[in-house]
Amino acid sequence: MSRPVNLTPGRSALLWGHASGLRARSTAGALLVLSFALMAVAAWRVLDLQQRLERAELSRHAGQLPAKDASIETTGSGRLTGAERLRVNRVVRQLNAPWPAIFRALETEAAPHVAVLSVEPNAERGVVRVLTEGATLDDLLSHANRLGQRRPFRAVQLLRVEERDVLGRPLPRLNFDLALEP
């Protein structure tokens, strides 16, 4: 005959299904307190990071960048040097390009056999460089000429013709500049 099993521990509590002594319980308690402390520190850091991101987003929307994030450092007097002023003016000219009119012209003159691969402004020269790819070179040339006759462009300058081999078939690319109206 078997003896009945006593499932209630005596003086020690159950830890992970085993009767444990004082040392195991105190170690488990210390680990539990330490894990809660680490979770609290992690939560505090996440909240701090979220607050800093919100402040940066608000200052960006207000048009003000924090001083340490500004890409242009000024001299000690707070005034821009000549080189800094030139760099700022170049960026402003590129941002002030007539983008809606440029995109409207590109969309209006879109052709089914011509893909516009890139559009890059060059504010110093007053041009927009365009890279297109199409079924035939004639399609690309007529597309470029139509763009040159639309506003805000005043002229077209052809730069380079390349040919890629796609599945054994030549695919031409045309690189050209569109001069912007002054």
User: Partners of 165 in the beta sheet?
Assistant: 170
- Cα Rg for the chain, rounded, in angstroms? 34
Write the DSSP symbol of residue 4: P
- pLDDT value at residue 66: 46
Residues in the chain: 182
- The predicted structure's pLDDT at residue 173: 92
Predicted confidence at residue 62, as pLDDT, reads 63
pLDDT score at 61: 62
Q: Give yes or no for a contact between 128 and 119, defined as CB atoms under 8 angstroms apart.
A: yes
pLDDT the model gives residue 175: 92
In this structure, what are the phi and psi dihedrals at residue 131, rounded to the nearest 5 degrees?
Answer: -115, 125
Residue with tokens 């590109």: 106
Q: Which of 173, 160, 94 is nearest to 128 (CA)?
A: 94
**pLDDT less than 50: residues of the chain:** 11, 64-74
Closest CA to 126 of 86, 73, 180: 180
**Is 97-180 assigned to CATH 3.30.1360.100?**
yes
DSSP per position, 44-113: HHHHHHHHHHHHHHHHHHTT---GGG-SS---TTSPPPHHHHHHHHHHHHHHTS-HHHHHHHHHHT--TT
Q: Give the single-character DSSP code of 9.
A: -
